Chain A
């Protein structure tokens, strides 16, 4: 299908997102002149392919349930926040809180991601080629965070079931996060994630696995009916 082209210079965010929501499955879209606009391609539930040609702002592709979004430049805070399914691929760097509370789907960052990457992750895969900032993986409950570069301070603080793989160094671990032995299953998982992301600099057998030490983990709703 020939691409449909929209310009942020001509449309309000609401007009743009309404137009995107009205496109059928399989549509291809180019979004021009994004100029750091917030909330581009938010809340879409169709299987469409979107190329944002430039830099985007906050919440890019957030709440998505189906679309594949590629951003040619960098993005602001909370890209893919609460993503349900689909893919968001950022060719540049991402700001803070990338993939916050994302339930499903895949978020790929080819550059670095800033602080609190994958905060409160609930099932998505967040794959970062470069470094992540402080407090990444904070309170992450499910899903996986892969870091191709180095991780900042407080990695995996108060982790639940999310597993974090780091190819580079870790500045410090957060409370209740610990380094665990890498199993064959981990290597297989990382190999699949690296392939999915299209990264070529990560050796799946040479990553560090970080998971919850379960000292603070206290989330069983049935235990003594305390909740």
Chain B
């Protein structure tokens, strides 16, 4: 069992409240997943800059790393250090920034990269993780979050969701895949590298691979239905899209609430019950095998 939450804000007035709105949803879903939690938040990026979400448990001095990366790349680097986590804003492209990080901060895990996206994820209760990194203070236009109860691979930060397989893509998954090894072998033959042995990471990298080949998010998710076997409710966000898909059995729950101001998604309704205007929302259960997507 795992919990999923997501918010896609249509109303710009709510952007300053994204963290404040998603945090209690994530906390509520810790009943479905107490061992790890994470959230990807999307905000307007600055042109040309890339944002790196980093995690390290060896006491990495993020300021020192930031200065070293600035010297290495010749780009300006701003550092937001939050203990084991740091958000680095680098005035360069994602490939160059990631290469510099691998050279200079090999002990840091790159949990997410993108122009618009930052990711916080860690082991422990979502409530503790929200407080540790001040997630309720963050802003943005959409977020996808996850609370994990691990069933098929280790409980570590790297194994927790969201999985960010490419710039500005984040995927969260409730369920289990039955043929991830087959799909993974094929992706590896195509040169795709994996960080963990987690089945959801296979799905995330499969989605990213389809999009790299020109699919939009909806098409990539329809390909998931063809290629990946198993149980899933998936919530995936990109820089511009927010999409939900359930497998044909639909035995992993999902509920969507839509108003003029937002689209909210969760595994269970009570995670949505505190949202503003929820009493007037169109609340519905996504049907199996149908991609629900919103684009900004």
Contact = CB atoms under 8 A, between A and B. Distances in A.
B250 A35 contact: no
> What is the interface residue range for chain A against chain B?
10 to 19
20 contacts: A36-B268, A36-B270, A36-B271, A36-B272, A37-B270, A38-B268, A55-B273, A57-B268, A57-B269, A74-B283, A76-B253, A76-B268, A76-B269, A93-B285, A95-B253, A95-B255, A96-B251, A96-B253, A96-B285, A115-B288
Given A36-B269, A77-B253, 17 more contacts: A35-B270, A35-B274, A36-B272, A36-B273, A38-B268, A55-B273, A57-B268, A57-B269, A58-B268, A74-B283, A76-B268, A76-B269, A93-B285, A95-B253, A114-B285, A115-B250, A133-B250
Interface of A: 35-38, 55, 57-58, 74, 76-77, 93, 95-96, 114-115, 133-134
Q: DSSP majority for the A interface?
A: loop
Q: Which residue of A38, A55, A58 has the most chain B CB atoms within 10 A of its CB atom? A: A55
A134 B253 contact: no
Contact of B269 (A55, A96, A114, A115): A55
B287 interface: yes
Interface string B72-85: 00000000000000
**Binding site of B, secondary structure by majority: helix, strand, loop or mixed?**
loop
Interface string B98-111: 00000000000000
Contacts of A55: 269, 273, 283
Nearest to B266: A36
Contacts of B287: 133
The size class of the interface chain B forms with chain A is 10 to 19
Nearest to B28: A36
A133 B285 CA distance: 11
A55 B272 CA distance: 11
A98 B270 CA distance: 18
A114 B254 CA distance: 12
Nearest to B287: A133
A115 B251 CA distance: 9
Contacts of A96: 250-251, 253, 285
Interface string B273-296: 110000000010101100000000
A40 to B, nearest CB: 11
B268 A35 contact: no
Nearest to A95: B285
Nearest to A115: B250
Nearest to A37: B270
B24 to A, nearest CB: 12
A208 B177 CA distance: 38
A114 B285 CA distance: 8
Nearest to A94: B285
A35 B273 contact: yes
A36 B273 CA distance: 7
A107 B117 CA distance: 46
Contacts of B272: 36
A55 B285 CA distance: 14
Contacts of B271: 36
Contact of A134 (B250, B269, B274): B250
Contacts of A133: 250, 287
A11 to B, nearest CB: 15
Contacts of A38: 268, 270
